[in-house]
Amino acid sequence: MVKEIQLRISLKEEERNDILTIKSAHALDIDKEVITGIKILRKSIDARKPKIIFNYKVAVYIREALPKTSEYQFDYKDVSKAKPIHIIGFGPAGMYAALRCIELGYKPIVLERGKNVKDRRRDLKAINQDHFVNNDSNYCFGEGGAGTYSDGKLYTRSLKRGDVRRIFENLVFHGATNQILIDAHPHIGTNKLPKVVQNIRETILNYGGEVHFETRVVDFIIKKNNIQAIQLQNGSEMTVNKVILATGHSARDIFYLLHKKDIALEAKSFAMGVRVEHPQHIIDSIQYHCSGERNALLPAASYSLVNQVNNRGVYSFCMCPGGFIVPAATANGEVVVNGMSPSKRNNLYANSGIVVEINADVDLHKYEKFGVLKGLEYQKNLEKLAFTSGGRSQVAPAQRLTDFVEGKLSNDLNPTSYQPGLKSAPLHSLLPKLIGSRLRKGFLAFGQKMKGYYTAEANIVGVESRTSSPVCIPRNEQLQHPEVSNLFPCGEGGGYAGGIISAAMDGERCAEAAIMNL
Ligand code: FAD
């Protein structure tokens, strides 16, 4: 017999290895000896009150063995001789599109401008140490896309829970910890993601798919509203049947190419701002109501903040407890910051994007001349501004949080996790008013919600500009571009995802749509 129950465990109780068995026996009014196994289905922490509680949902097996198999089976087939589907981009959307093609008996041919995870590492080092950005291999481009050297938080607002579970099970199948199936806020960590991504590539190759690295797509040969061939940066051409375009929100050359070819695009609302960095112990003490170090059983604390300021949302984005701020530019001449953390989240800092919603219809009137690319140009300008004010390298402009709000240049800055280094800059006057003034009010409001958050011990670092795509590549109900019938815009670049899980789910959907259409 199996019974599903909820348990509330205190911090003190959590120290005991057998606590779930004891509590389950008590809750079910049975002898603990008859419990043959306990499967944790969900775990979350409730730290709203000083008495911290671990909430568990468990399946208690009574005189019955725990099942070993996963409920998901991935039925990969040999597709070496099957019909091909071309996938541009090997981020979460492209990877999951390729895996789904294999399940459905089609051969994915993936074209990726960046390098494999191992070689990519050298280029990341060059950004951090030499301030040189390779525009094909960086924190956004390369095997696994922006999802590889990311934070690996796997939250999604998607309501399609069944699909979400499938994506998680597949990550576990490819080497991610099965803890992600349980945690309310699952996280893989930047140190573990490359191996998972590499395993996904190996599955694709083992079943007869193809993955071509250092292969940038530079043009589409279109006849009668169909892509006949794609042109690569080495001058060669590839004849294609169906094309899944999963190039991410940083592939500006793809947006420019589509625009130049008069293929419909739409301007999209997005968000931009800064990254704020606190010592982790400050966030821990606020969230866990403690004064010294947090209890060893508790993970580095996170937060999620949102406030409306002058009709625009100001909110935290991609919060990374125990993490690092990283240089996420995709070209020299721009500074872009983002965040990531290792699986243990044991770094000394907590960082988060704090961004302001930008309404493409009303906020960008000075950029109207750029038409559908107005948001992209606005974003580019802010990144250039960060580059020049940081000192024309990957050094990022920064300010103490309180100085930013009070409108003062910082005489000195707090220590940081951002490897290329920070330079004090008057971000309060440099940022456009649309963003700067809302951020200043937003930070004050956040200080009210989390006492101790508004502190001179935090830095803000500019600029957090790549939160989502400023451009949408339209598609119809069959997920085809309305003007190019064999083009399937996919993932975050198309405007159909925001994060690893939603991009992966969209990849699967696009593969199914492309195949249905064959
Ligand atoms: P991408 O991952 O951007 O992949 C697009 C791929 O297309 C890239 O590999 C690129 O090289 C390739 N490409 C582009 N142009 C071409 C071309 N012309 N020819 C061939 N290939 C091309 N999300 C989360 O959910 N949780 C997190 O914790 C998280 N942390 C992040 C931390 C960092 C530092 C960064 C940068 C991002 C983070 N994200 C996180 C965002 C997440 O990575 C993206 O939402 C996700 O990767 C989008 O997936 P995608 O496949 O649509 O696009």
Q: Return the higher-pLDDT residue of 122 and 156.
A: 122
Say how many C-beta atoms besides its own lie within 10 A of residue 94's C-beta. Answer: 32
The token pair at 253 is: 């050359």
Whether residue 127 has its Cβ less than 6 Å from ligand 1: no
pLDDT confidence of residue 79: 98
Q: Which atom of ligand 1 is nearest to the CA of 498?
A: 45
Question: Which of 134, 136, 141 is the pocket-test mutation for ligand 1 (most atoms within 8 Å of CB)?
Answer: 141
pTM for this prediction: 0.97
Beta bridge partners of 87: 110, 244
pLDDT at residue 517 tops 80:
no
Nearest CA to ligand 1 atom 10: 141
Whether residue 473 has its Cβ less than 6 Å from ligand 1: no
Q: Which atom of ligand 1 is nearest to the CA of 114?
A: 11
Place 93 in a pLDDT band, splitting at 50, 70 and 90: very high
Which ranges in the chain are annotated with CATH 3.50.50.60? 84-264+473-516
pLDDT confidence of residue 151: 85
pLDDT confidence of residue 181: 94
* pLDDT tens string 227-257: 999 999 999 999 999 999 999 999 999 999 9
Farthest-apart Cα atoms in the chain, separation: 74
Does the structural domain 2-62 have CATH classification 3.30.70.2700?
yes
Q: Which of 190, 138, 42 is nearest to 500 (CA)?
A: 190
Helix (H) or strand (E) holding 211: strand 210-212
Contact assessment for residue 193 and residue 144, using Cβ atoms and an 8 Å cutoff? yes
Evaluated on CA atoms 301, 458, 319, 173, the torsion sign reads negative
Q: Which atom of ligand 1 is nearest to the CA of 507?
A: 51
Evaluated on CA atoms 395, 282, 154, 476, the torsion sign reads negative
State the Cα–Cα distance between residues 479 and 511, nearest whole angstrom: 10
pLDDT confidence of residue 40: 95
* pLDDT tens string 420-479: 999 999 999 999 999 999 999 999 999 999 999 999 999 999 999 999 999 999 999 999
In Å, what is the CA distance from 383 to each residue of 264, 328, 390, 404, 427? 26, 11, 10, 18, 13
Whether residue 186 has its Cβ less than 6 Å from ligand 1: no
Average pLDDT of the residues in 353-368: 96
How many Å lie between the centroid of ligand 1 and the Cα of residue 92? 7
State the Cα–Cα distance between residues 122 and 126, nearest whole angstrom: 6
State the Cα–Cα distance between residues 194 and 199, nearest whole angstrom: 9
State the Cα–Cα distance between residues 262 and 249, nearest whole angstrom: 19
State the Cα–Cα distance between residues 258 and 510, nearest whole angstrom: 19
pLDDT confidence of residue 379: 98
Place 157 in a pLDDT band, splitting at 50, 70 and 90: confident
Nearest CA to ligand 1 atom 26: 153
* pLDDT tens string 179-229: 999 999 999 999 999 999 999 999 999 999 999 999 999 999 999 999 999
- The rounded Cα 440 to chain-centroid distance in angstroms is 25
pLDDT at residue 123 tops 90:
yes
The token pair at 176 is: 């991610």
Exposed/middle/buried for 396, CB within 10 Å: 0-12, 13-18, 19+? buried
Whether residue 328 has its Cβ less than 6 Å from ligand 1: yes
Which amino acid belongs to residue 164? V
The token pair at 452 is: 């101790």
Whether residue 244 has its Cβ less than 6 Å from ligand 1: no
Look up the ipTM and state it: 0.99
Whether residue 440 has its Cβ less than 6 Å from ligand 1: no
pLDDT at residue 155 tops 90:
no
* 3 state SS of 230: strand
What percent of the chain is modeled with pLDDT above 70? 99
Cis peptide before 309 (omega within 30 of 0): no
Place 150 in a pLDDT band, splitting at 50, 70 and 90: confident
How many Å lie between the centroid of ligand 1 and the Cα of residue 378? 20
Place 417 in a pLDDT band, splitting at 50, 70 and 90: very high
Q: Which of 56-60, 66-70, 318-322, 500-504 has the lowest mean pLDDT?
A: 66-70
Strand order through the sheet with 226-232: 217-223, 226-232, 237-239
Place 67 in a pLDDT band, splitting at 50, 70 and 90: confident
pLDDT confidence of residue 162: 60
pLDDT at residue 4 tops 90:
yes
The token pair at 317 is: 């984005």
CATH of range 84-264+473-516; options 3.40.190.10, 3.40.605.10, 3.30.200.20, 3.50.50.60: 3.50.50.60
How many Å lie between the centroid of ligand 1 and the Cα of residue 20? 39
Mean confidence (pLDDT) of the chain: 96
pLDDT at residue 159 tops 80:
no
Question: Which of 150, 167, 270, 469 is the pocket-test mutation for ligand 1 (most atoms within 8 Å of CB)?
Answer: 150
Average pLDDT of the residues in 406-423: 98
Which ranges in the chain are annotated with CATH 3.30.70.2700? 2-62
pLDDT at residue 160 tops 70:
no
State the Cα–Cα distance between residues 420 and 396, nearest whole angstrom: 8
Place 161 in a pLDDT band, splitting at 50, 70 and 90: low
